[in-house]
Structure 1
Amino acid sequence: MVEFGKKLKETQIQEWQRYYINYKMMKKKVNRYAQQLEDSDDNGKQILKDFSRILDQQIEKFVLFLLEQEGQLASRLSALGIQKDDFLQRSDYLELSALLEAYRAVGRDLLRLLFFVEMNAIGLRKILKKFDKRFGYSFTNHYVKTRASHPYSQLRQVLKHVGISAVVGTISRNLTDLQGHHESYTSIYDQPTVLPVDPIIVSIKAAVDRLTNSTDYLHYLGKHALIMPEELPSPSEDHVIDDRYHFMSLLLNLANTFLYMVNTYIVVPTADNYSVSLGAAATVCGAVIGSMAVAQVFSSVYFSAWSNKSYIRPLVFSTIVLLIGNTLYALAYDLNSIYLLLIGRLFCGLGSARAINRRYISDCVPLKLRMKASAGFVSASALGMACGPALACLFQTNFKIFNITFNEDTLPGWVMALAWLVYLFWLWICFREPPKDVGDFEEQTTQIESVGLEIDCTQPLISSSQETQENEDDGQECDVSETASAGSDKPVTSIVSAYKLLTPSVKVQLLIYFMLKYAMEILLAESSIITSHYFIWSSRNVAVFLACLGLTVLPVNIFVGSYLSNLFEERQVLLASEVLVCLGILFSFNVMNPYSTPQYICSALVTFVSAEVLEGVNLSLLSRVMSSRLSKGTYNGGLLSTEAGTLARVIADGTITLAGYWGISRLLNVTLLPSLVICVCSIIATCFTYNSLY
């Protein structure tokens, strides 16, 4: 990955250089302030005041130029409006082509302005994150809170883009009017989906959506995969599909994702009965279900590292391990061994290839198709989550072949073993390994970084020809050590290095992810025990209930991605979802006898659906506040979120098993109490970092 400052400089518009936020000068200021605090006992108040003043000056320079450019575009559109009126009166169709091209020219200039705004917004976000990281102080929270809500704030132009939206609306309306004026309607507001959309409008809309974090269902769903997008905008939408991409290989990765999620949840409805049949307590089902997550904590790391060198080899290894694990799980019944049952699930966890599936999409799918592939990854996971329990409810049989038992307890293992065997043959025949010279990301990154470092030492990251004398000295210095360490975008090489890059905002988002996975795992893993104890549900009833919960995933995401996320800010949806999860947990407690079926179903539905909404906005915000150094490599943001979620599942399943010592009658309240505490803590932490989530 090219170092941020160099990449930013390469994509800037040369004639507008002087109006960009001077990222390098501010970066050096941050380092100088940090050194100043180390050498003195200063409390830092003067530093906060000085840096706020510098940021205000940089934003003012950028915003005034932005307003000037918007005014020029508005003047051109006003003149074109007069020409359009004359054209409509005379109906001289010879002028139509020239008029359309004139509007498209304004649209292309608007696109340049949008790229300019987006790069400055990214630079502003990065310098605020850098300040927070170096000082351990939530300066972003203070700065955004005091500036964004002020009536005279220029920061609102960076965050809201009201003027730009008006220009976009004018261009879009007039192009549509001209292209469809011979029809019976002439307004985008009357029938906005009937007329063909001009390509320049499509490009502008995509750029505006990136700026305003507007989204649709596909993009919203894709964010769940936490496959972090390119940080800087590209002036071209033409992305070449290189030889790394192979459709069948992508399909095999998505099939792997689907089968693994089926494998995870297919045993949930019957795990307690299986444990009892082997002489263990019903609450041992927590250990049976959780043992898969325990192994996944380790498998995610080694598979992520292995995928630096190959994709097919770890996928083949993963499939064989899963084949063995499911076979051992099924054989545990006839061998009457609870230990074999646990070992089988451990093997299934060791075969978790989700890190490879996510990594393949990130590294080998072209940018043009990456969001669709990410959405496919999440959809495959959601479908597998619903299909697992649904399949389990079909296994209501009991027979033997060669003294091997096939019943509702063992069939999940046998069916998944057969599925992985078929998948193994499909993988071996159809998967194509990406070229090594392209796939060796770590080596390429090192080479790019060394070249980028030499270039960076000659001039500022974002040059400014007319700065004050004080800032000129800062902008032209070259600090090689600082550039190589704090300013480098090279992927991290260890979990410890990755942890050091986590700002308070990132840590809070990981806590929220941990919380929602913990709450969901408690709900799902103990469902068979709770429902059989209170409502005398059969395993078939439990399977249907869990399948119905799983089927809510995609409809909920369609609603949030297509409507809710465009109506409210993501941080607003985040906080509201956390509160709803908290209410769902509170409503789940058994405080009145008898504990009713409607109470359990309603509370479970509120908790599960709210957690699903929360997961989407949480991962979307996490991808934005997380360092770009965590977008690639072994220890990437996806791995960190996977580890946080897997650890939550491990602790949740362990809680269920330990709570069994207090008896089944107390299991529900004992397991819900930690969920409630963690949820309340996450809400408080969100409130403290709320203003940094933009």
Structure 2
Amino acid sequence: MFSLNLLSFLWGLPIEVLISERKERCYYYYQFTDISLSMVGYGKKLRELQIQEWKGYYINYKLMKKKVKRYGELMEVGAQNRHNVLRDFCMLLDNQIEKIVLFLLEQQGVLAHKLSDIGQEHHTLFQQPNSLNISELQEAYRGVGRDLLRLLNFLEMNAVGLRKILKKFDKRFGYKFTDYYVKTRANHPYSQLRQVFRHVGIGAVVGVLSHGLADLQDLQQCQGSYISIYDQPSYTHQDPVLDSIKEAVGRLSNSTNYLQFLGRHAFIMQEELPSPSEDHVVEERYNFMSLLLNLANTFLYMVNTYIIVPTADNYTLSLGAAASVCGVVLGTMAVAQVFSSVYFSAWSNRSYLRPLVFSSIVLLVGNTLYALAFDMNSIVVLLMGRLFCGLGSARAVNRRYISDCVPLKLRMQASAGFVSASALGMACGPALACLLQTNFRIYRFTMNQDTLPGWVMAFAWLLYLLWLWICFKEPAHDNQGNLVLYQADTGPAVHVAVENEHTQPLLTNSEAKELEEDGEEENDDSEETKKPVTSIVVAYKLLTPSVKVQLFVYFMLKYAMEVVLAESSLITEYYFIWTTSNVSIFLACLGLTVLPVNIVVGNYISNMFEERQVLLTSEIMVCIGLLLSFHIMIPYTVTQYVGSALITFVSAEVLEGVNLSLLSKMMSSRLSRGTFNGGLLSTEAGTLARVIADGTITISGYFSESKLLNTTLLPALLICISSIVATCYSYNSLY
């Protein structure tokens, strides 16, 4: 039993606080210089961030919110029917989109005219090169680039506003409106909605800028080759303003590269309109070695999870249990992870080092128990060891660290690193098991293929614990004591941060009065605030039907993957008499497909098709893979098993990326942080799927090992078909 002193260290609280009742702690991420944009919802943020001379061309978010509320009141008293409400709101939204699109076209014309004028000077320059004129022209091109960035910012804010108002309408009246609106507007050949989300014509402007700057740089270096980006696509010159434009275009068009697509698997939700000052706070917390330790924790935990898969059935047989009990051995870890994800997520509100230390200690104990079970001849000790391993799952801490302590400019790379570490660990676990095919004794301890995974991982966690203790730098956490309540003379109470014990009013009287006048609007917009969710019930209430469908899809893909991986040793031994080494190599090869598949999907497929199209296609491919896995009449062959498993696993990997990407867009921004965040919900859905899949394997194997394959695949197939039907039903709301 831990002493109070150890608990005091781990939780970072005085002993007196541990003895007294627990007090709820709230952590705020606002600086007093931030104008508290996040505190008052999207409507206020839009007014603060918009370009003032374009003020009249932005989406009138405030008007539409009031309309939504008014529609609700009228329908409650029976003064309006649903058809009239939909027609009226469609007309209002059409007018708003038309206003945005016409202004967009007008500004594109302005940019085209500027580029035409610069182009004439550019042509003249070729006749009489002059270094001064080259510099002036480069700056002129960059000026157009900066104007284009402003236009892209305008587009992005309006795109976010459209998504939010559609979500708000669905929340009030049911998600059928988005389904209808997207189906009739986005799929129409003259769609103006697509102009906002696909920004037709922007690419032409970017092309002229890229071509012009490349030509000028070539001329400035006196190369005389007049490089064309069209004739030589491998040309590497890239101006900083073009990098910024490319990033902005990518956010709008959902265009991806390998790192972006891979990073989505981490499901680290971000604010749609992040605050620059908030990112400054994050930069102060960032430490590369601490990030590396987080990724190492992720890697080791995935190795720990999959290193026993090839030998779990033999281990249970050696302890006198049925081979199918390996499902319980694997599932025990997943069951514990259901609970560990919650308390580690809550713990990371206070600290990152202490939960990682606790996790390493628990995993060290768990792997030691797992290894000792053989000499103790106890299946109970074996299960206790895996239970401890599940209780030490700190993936929630790893995600929170990346979300809270890695700057926005590095977050995508860190997210991709998180997923890469997981994939590498998934492949290395079985591969390492393949190398541990030996049998000897050290004193009274048996070292064989069953116990060595436990001993190796216990030693690895001991080394990691020492490395963690020496090198991890605990980032500064916001302190609740630094918050006071400021009461404006005529406005509402507002929380502000205090520096040097001096309070500074966040809002002037006139601004506070404006907030008071808009109080009804901002209070109604509580979904868009950064107030963290305090319970799983509140988190569930924030889930729209479309989000629930996507969580179900995530459940399905994790169920299918667990069935393929967890029963592989049983199936291959029964049908093909594979050795442990064969199973290990097969599982390692499956794990190694993760990164190459994501390269293809991230760089090509996701840029050619919409995410919802890739989502539905991937679900169908998972279904096909499961169908091909069934053993019906004809002899079961290695080709059939390996081919169907590969189709199922790879399709599920592709599905995971687009599924989590869509979830991050559709989930409430309140689920981006706090204990009960979107990452926790997805983790719980996936872990629950693993628990049920492992339980199904054990129950099916108990009745008949010859029927194990079909009886485990049947529920997976039914769940997959159900997810396809649900996706088709909500297809037009996935926008």
TM (norm. structure 1) is 0.94
Residues 25-81 of structure 1: per-residue CA shift (max 9 Å, x gap): 211221222222222285411111111111111111111111111111111111111
Alignment counterpart, residue 539 of structure 1, candidates 568, 580, 593: 580
Specify whether residues 563 and 137 from structure 1 end up closer, same or farther in structure 2 by C-alpha distance, changes over 3 A only: closer
Amino acid at match of 1:574: L
Alignment counterpart, residue 269 of structure 1, candidates 310, 319, 325: 310
The answer for the alignment partner of 2:652 in structure 1 is 611
Alignment counterpart, residue 107 of structure 2, candidates 69, 86, 96: 69
Specify whether residues 443 and 39 from structure 1 end up closer, same or farther in structure 2 by C-alpha distance, changes over 3 A only: farther
Q: Does the aligned pair in 2 maintain the 1:309–1:440 contact within 8 Å?
A: no
Q: CA deviation at 1:412?
A: 0.7
Q: Does the aligned pair in 2 maintain the 1:588–1:603 contact within 8 Å?
A: yes
Q: Does the aligned pair in 1 maintain the 2:370–2:383 contact within 8 Å?
A: yes
Distance between the aligned counterparts of 2:373 and 2:365, measured in 1? 12
Q: Secondary structure at the residue paired with 1:310?
A: coil
Residues 325-383 of structure 1: per-residue CA shift (max 9 Å, x gap): 11111111111111111111011000000000000010011112111111110000000
The answer for the alignment partner of 1:33 in structure 2 is 71
1:355-394 alignment to 2 at 5 Å? 355-394=396-435
In the alignment, is residue 114 of structure 1 matched against residue 152 of structure 2?
yes
Specify whether residues 688 and 459 from structure 1 end up closer, same or farther in structure 2 by C-alpha distance, changes over 3 A only: farther
Which sits farther off after the overlay, 434-443 or 654-663?
Answer: 434-443
Q: Does the aligned pair in 1 maintain the 2:426–2:591 contact within 8 Å?
A: yes
Q: Does the aligned pair in 1 maintain the 2:43–2:522 contact within 8 Å?
A: no
Distance between the aligned counterparts of 1:120 and 1:455, measured in 2? 26
In the alignment, is residue 127 of structure 1 matched against residue 165 of structure 2?
yes
Specify whether residues 457 and 147 from structure 1 end up closer, same or farther in structure 2 by C-alpha distance, changes over 3 A only: farther
In the alignment, is residue 426 of structure 1 matched against residue 457 of structure 2?
no
In the alignment, is residue 593 of structure 1 matched against residue 634 of structure 2?
yes
Pairwise CA RMSD of aligned residues? 2.4
Q: Secondary structure at the residue paired with 2:446?
A: strand
The answer for the alignment partner of 1:169 in structure 2 is 207
Alignment counterpart, residue 563 of structure 1, candidates 575, 581, 604: 604
Specify whether residues 235 and 314 from structure 1 end up closer, same or farther in structure 2 by C-alpha distance, changes over 3 A only: closer
The answer for the alignment partner of 2:324 in structure 1 is 283
The answer for the alignment partner of 1:464 in structure 2 is none
Distance between the aligned counterparts of 1:454 and 1:219, measured in 2? 44
Which sits farther off after the overlay, 423-432 or 4-13?
Answer: 4-13
Q: Does the aligned pair in 2 maintain the 1:254–1:357 contact within 8 Å?
A: yes
Specify whether residues 298 and 544 from structure 1 end up closer, same or farther in structure 2 by C-alpha distance, changes over 3 A only: same
Distance between the aligned counterparts of 2:119 and 2:281, measured in 1? 38
The answer for the alignment partner of 2:137 in structure 1 is 99
In the alignment, is residue 447 of structure 1 matched against residue 485 of structure 2?
no
The answer for the alignment partner of 2:354 in structure 1 is 313
Residues 403-451 of structure 1: per-residue CA shift (max 9 Å, x gap): 211111111111111111111111111111111337999999x936996
Specify whether residues 497 and 136 from structure 1 end up closer, same or farther in structure 2 by C-alpha distance, changes over 3 A only: same
Alignment counterpart, residue 213 of structure 1, candidates 238, 245, 254: 254
Which sits farther off after the overlay, 282-291 or 571-580?
Answer: 571-580
Alignment counterpart, residue 627 of structure 1, candidates 668, 682, 692: 668
Specify whether residues 380 and 274 from structure 1 end up closer, same or farther in structure 2 by C-alpha distance, changes over 3 A only: same
The answer for the alignment partner of 2:557 in structure 1 is 516
The answer for the alignment partner of 1:663 in structure 2 is 704
The answer for the alignment partner of 1:682 in structure 2 is 723
Q: CA deviation at 1:156?
A: 1.9
The answer for the alignment partner of 2:271 in structure 1 is 230
Q: Secondary structure at the residue paired with 1:393?
A: helix
Q: Does the aligned pair in 2 maintain the 1:239–1:367 contact within 8 Å?
A: no
Q: Secondary structure at the residue paired with 1:479?
A: helix
The answer for the alignment partner of 2:53 in structure 1 is 15
Residues 85-127 of structure 1: per-residue CA shift (max 9 Å, x gap): 1221233443211111111111111110000000000000011
Distance between the aligned counterparts of 1:636 and 1:656, measured in 2? 31
Q: Does the aligned pair in 1 maintain the 2:66–2:521 contact within 8 Å?
A: no
The answer for the alignment partner of 1:473 in structure 2 is none
Amino acid at match of 2:113: S
Distance between the aligned counterparts of 1:29 and 1:458, measured in 2? 23
Give unpaired runs (5+ residues) of structure 2: 1-28, 30-37, 486-493, 498-504
1:307-346 alignment to 2 at 5 Å? 307-346=348-387
Q: Report % sequence identity.
A: 69
In the alignment, is residue 142 of structure 1 matched against residue 180 of structure 2?
yes
Distance between the aligned counterparts of 1:305 and 1:413, measured in 2? 29
Q: CA deviation at 1:183?
A: 3.4
The answer for the alignment partner of 2:42 in structure 1 is 4
The answer for the alignment partner of 1:89 in structure 2 is 127
The answer for the alignment partner of 2:12 in structure 1 is none
Distance between the aligned counterparts of 2:348 and 2:278, measured in 1? 29
In the alignment, is residue 302 of structure 1 matched against residue 302 of structure 2?
no
Distance between the aligned counterparts of 2:154 and 2:730, measured in 1? 28
Residues 541-600 of structure 1: per-residue CA shift (max 9 Å, x gap): 111110111111111111111221112222111111111110000000001331111100
Q: Secondary structure at the residue paired with 2:190?
A: coil
Specify whether residues 307 and 680 from structure 1 end up closer, same or farther in structure 2 by C-alpha distance, changes over 3 A only: same
Q: Secondary structure at the residue paired with 2:621?
A: helix
Distance between the aligned counterparts of 1:543 and 1:452, measured in 2? 62
Specify whether residues 229 and 298 from structure 1 end up closer, same or farther in structure 2 by C-alpha distance, changes over 3 A only: same
Distance between the aligned counterparts of 2:109 and 2:188, measured in 1? 23
The answer for the alignment partner of 1:644 in structure 2 is 685
Specify whether residues 430 and 258 from structure 1 end up closer, same or farther in structure 2 by C-alpha distance, changes over 3 A only: same
Q: Does the aligned pair in 2 maintain the 1:185–1:191 contact within 8 Å?
A: no
Q: Secondary structure at the residue paired with 1:243?
A: helix
Amino acid at match of 1:260: Y
Amino acid at match of 2:442: I
TM (norm. structure 2) is 0.89
Q: Does the aligned pair in 2 maintain the 1:219–1:375 contact within 8 Å?
A: yes
Distance between the aligned counterparts of 1:636 and 1:487, measured in 2? 14
Specify whether residues 118 and 442 from structure 1 end up closer, same or farther in structure 2 by C-alpha distance, changes over 3 A only: farther
Amino acid at match of 2:671: L
Which sits farther off after the overlay, 402-411 or 483-492?
Answer: 483-492
The answer for the alignment partner of 1:259 in structure 2 is 300
Distance between the aligned counterparts of 1:411 and 1:391, measured in 2? 10
Distance between the aligned counterparts of 1:237 and 1:84, measured in 2? 41
Distance between the aligned counterparts of 1:184 and 1:361, measured in 2? 45
Q: Secondary structure at the residue paired with 1:162?
A: coil
Specify whether residues 448 and 214 from structure 1 end up closer, same or farther in structure 2 by C-alpha distance, changes over 3 A only: farther
Q: Does the aligned pair in 1 maintain the 2:333–2:387 contact within 8 Å?
A: yes
Q: CA deviation at 1:401?
A: 1.7
Specify whether residues 153 and 91 from structure 1 end up closer, same or farther in structure 2 by C-alpha distance, changes over 3 A only: same
Q: Secondary structure at the residue paired with 1:447?
A: strand
Distance between the aligned counterparts of 1:591 and 1:319, measured in 2? 46
Specify whether residues 521 and 58 from structure 1 end up closer, same or farther in structure 2 by C-alpha distance, changes over 3 A only: same
Which sits farther off after the overlay, 328-337 or 6-15?
Answer: 6-15
Q: CA deviation at 1:681?
A: 1.0
Give unpaired runs (5+ residues) of structure 1: 462-475
Distance between the aligned counterparts of 1:488 and 1:236, measured in 2? 17
Amino acid at match of 2:615: L
Specify whether residues 237 and 560 from structure 1 end up closer, same or farther in structure 2 by C-alpha distance, changes over 3 A only: farther
Q: Does the aligned pair in 2 maintain the 1:457–1:478 contact within 8 Å?
A: no
Q: Does the aligned pair in 2 maintain the 1:329–1:344 contact within 8 Å?
A: yes
Specify whether residues 498 and 431 from structure 1 end up closer, same or farther in structure 2 by C-alpha distance, changes over 3 A only: same
Q: Does the aligned pair in 1 maintain the 2:529–2:669 contact within 8 Å?
A: no
Which sits farther off after the overlay, 179-188 or 589-598?
Answer: 179-188
Which sits farther off after the overlay, 116-125 or 25-34?
Answer: 25-34
Distance between the aligned counterparts of 2:607 and 2:482, measured in 1? 36
Q: Secondary structure at the residue paired with 2:440?
A: strand
